[in-house]
Structure 1
Amino acid sequence: MSDKPTDAPHPPPTGSGGGRPTLSRQEFDDLFAAVRTWGRWRPADRGAWNRVTEDHVRRAAALVRSGVVVPMALPWNTEPGPDNRRPALHYMSDLGDVEAPEPATHKDFIAVDYHGKSVSHLDALSHIAYRGQLYDGRAAREVVDAGGARFGAVSALGPLVTRGVLLDLPAALGVKWLEPGQAVHADDVIAVERALDVTIGDGDAVLLRSGHFRRRRELGAWDPDAASAGFHVDAMPLLAERGIALLGGDGDSDVRPSPVDGVHSPVHALAIAAMGVPLLDNLDLEALSAACAELGRSAFLLVVAPLKVPGGTGSPVNPVAVL
């Protein structure tokens, strides 16, 4: 399985737009049933992370050749904006100015409502319910309450070490970024694999770069709930067939507006609630894109270590790629 670009030309992906809904609710329900993996693994609340074995970890570790380390978290964002409606908090709780024995200490406090568009975070399996059910058919009302989640909590996941694959759509298309609302279809995924000579496989973590944060830095912020590039639902059967363990990107993986009538985040529903695949949202993939281009590869060792929050529906996180 190669991860180096070839010299042979390949047809470029189309990166066609999302636009109006293209799937009915019934068609979506049929798709949900087709990719569902309920009852496949134990413990069930680790979902597709159960795919990753010691062999997967060893194969991923063998990808480390240059020693380049690339973190992917966004800076802690305390500034309000169209894509940061609930800014994070950061203030000093100790400035070392209280008379006390040496040494003086400096302490700070941080807090965040991280499920949004401005914090790099992991969605655990308790984050999404579809038609009242979490992954594995658990009734959301029975296992999630004001005290947190008793099934599918982020504390059940633990760290993930596996092979990461960067689907760099702008690099494959020869553009700076995908425009908000631009959808990535199954055919686009296959075309990018051919263009970058990389094949998504069992236990892989797939990261989609749309160029979101390059666009934001050059043109300014916008409301990604209204329009953002991401996967069309027709890409999910392909990713399910490949046996991925994790899905993420520089957006939240969903193309917006949604292509499914009455479902605002269909990729979330399919990945988390049907397939048991946690999601990584709001990653800064610009440095990883540059490193992959310089080294001529699109696969790497990926390390994801969420906070161990009992009952938590996810966690802020700083995924790290090692090439």
Structure 2
Amino acid sequence: MTRVRRTPRFADLPTLAGRDERHAWDVWGRADEIGTLNLIGGEQRRAAADAVRTGEMISLTLPLNEPDPGLFDDRDLYRHVIEDTAAGHDDKLDGFYLQGSSQWDGLRHINAGRHGYWGGRSEDDLATTDVLGVDRWAAHGFGGRGVLVDVAGHLDARGTPLAPDQPVEITAAMLDEVATAQGTEFRSGDILVVRTGWTEWYRALPAEHRARLRGTIGSGFACPGLESSKDMAAYLWDREFAAVAVDNVGVEVFPVNRDKGFLHRRLIALQGMPLGELWHLPRLARVCAERGHYDFLLISGVLPLPRGVGSPANAHAIV
């Protein structure tokens, strides 16, 4: 299939004033609020339906009470309160962090320093309006053709398994190598899903080991992830991915290499790209390998939450 570009190449995007960082704020206009989800419309959704071959539906997300314990000291697990009523029960969640489990990071999550959030919005813009809330994604609809790049499965088959507790950088070349081995071709508007095997490894750890990892983000924690350089930002933009989701803690490799920069800032604030974290992918990987196809219809039920910074992913693959 011949791909027709729908956006400028990364190298042709303008740079921020005083910084060698490229931004896509003018691609859909500075009033835009959904970023790269603009790449998914009716045509892309109709084409995504062609990836459904059996109709099997696979959850891509952890239970809401996992990871257990949470990895951040300041994010305690929610409290689930069940209340008796005359007719039965109601329930609510207290202290529910939307970034606590399988999630999407929204466009309010990360800024580009003094240059602001997606489109150049300021802190005051976010404080006084509903701009850039995840409800904008919910209204647009979050779904399209998903493509799994099973890095963990590929390296296992090669006899060089990925170490889940080491800062292994997944480069653009590695993503292409795995996609080629799978026979996977990318299309404009795809939602890229990358498997490192991290959530599976974490869930299998003894409780005392998991407890020792709590609070270590930023102080010794390490895991594989996407390389954080501008080269990776260019790769993801130039292939016109609508979103990227990974089964690790923060999409990019940990610890972050400050010399290469922060991929979150580049993708969310400057490219308007949704980032999914802590996805759970073993069943999807197994089914894709068995059928020899790594594309599927991906549907994500993002919360219609005004001013929402993030959302549970509520994601399913229909294969």
* Residue 87 (structure 1) aligns with: 76
Structure 2: distance between partners of 1:124 and 1:178: 29
Aligned partners of 1:207 and 1:248 also within 8 Å: yes
Is the partner of 1:320 in helix, strand or coil?
A: strand
> CA deviation digits over 1:65-98, x for unaligned, max 9?
11111111111227863625323323333235xx
**Unaligned runs of at least 5 residues, structure 2:** 2-15
Q: How far apart, CA to CA, are the structure 2 residues paired with 1:177 and 1:215?
A: 11
**Are 2:277 and 1:281 equivalent residues in the alignment?**
yes
Query: Contact between 1:127 and 1:313, CA under 8 Å: does it hold in 2?
Result: yes
Taking the aligned partners of 2:304 and 2:180, their CA distance within structure 1 comes to 38
Cα distance in structure 2, aligned partners of 1:250 and 1:262: 22
Q: 1:249 aligns with which of 246, 250, 255?
A: 246
- Percent of pairs identical after alignment? 27
Asked if the contact 1:213–1:286 (Cα under 8 Å) also holds between the matched residues in 2, the reply is no
Residues 49, 157 of structure 1: alpha-carbon distance in 2 compared, 3 angstrom cutoff: same
The answer to whether structure 1 residue 198 and structure 2 residue 184 are counterparts is: yes
Match of 1:127 among 92, 105, 109: 109
Deviation string 1:135-191 (CA, Å, 9 cap, x unpaired) is 12222x22223x7x6321101112212110111101111255443311101111111
Contact 2:118/2:268 (8 A) holds in 1: yes
Q: 1:313, 1:249 → 2: CA distance?
A: 18
Task: Number of aligned residue pairs: give it.
Answer: 282
**Equivalences for 1:17-166 in 2 at 5 Å?**
29-30=19-20, 32-33=21-22, 36-42=23-29, 44-77=32-65, 81=69, 83-85=71-73, 86-96=75-85, 100=86, 104-111=87-94, 112-115=96-99, 118-132=100-114, 133-139=116-122, 141-145=123-127, 150-158=130-138, 159-166=141-148
Could you tell me whether the CA contact under 8 Å between 1:302 and 1:322 is conserved in 2? yes
- Please point out which of 298, 302, 316 is paired with 1:302: 298
Partner SS for 1:122: strand
CA contact (8 A) 1:167 1:209 kept: yes
Query: Cα distance, 1:49 vs. partner?
Result: 0.6
Structure 1 Cα separation of the partners of residues 64 and 70 of structure 2:
16
Residues 184/78 of structure 1: CA separation in 2 closer, same or farther (3 Å cut): closer
Which whole-Å CA distance do the structure 2 matches of 1:91 and 1:82 have between them? 16
Structure 1 partner of 2:233? 236
Task: State the shift of 1:124 in Å.
Answer: 1.2
TM-score, normalised on structure 1? 0.80
CA contact (8 A) 2:70 2:77 kept: no
Equivalent in the alignment of 1:23 = none
Contact 1:177-1:215 within 8 A present in 2 as well: no
Tell me by how many angstroms 1:289 deviates: 1.1
Deviation (angstroms), 1:217: 2.7
Cα pair 2:72 2:217 within 8 Å, conserved? no
List alignment gaps of at least 5 residues for structure 1: 2-25
Q: Indicate if the aligned counterparts of 1:79 and 1:87 stay in contact, CA closer than 8 A.
A: no
- The 3-state SS of whatever aligns with 2:311 is strand
- Give the letter for the 2:89 counterpart: H
CA contact (8 A) 1:77 1:87 kept: no
* CA distance 1:270–1:178, shift in 2 (3 Å): farther
Structure 2 distance, partners of 1:120, 1:228, is 16
Counterpart amino acid of residue 283 in structure 2? A
Secondary structure in 2 matching 1:207: strand
**Partner amino acid, structure 2, of 1:278:** P
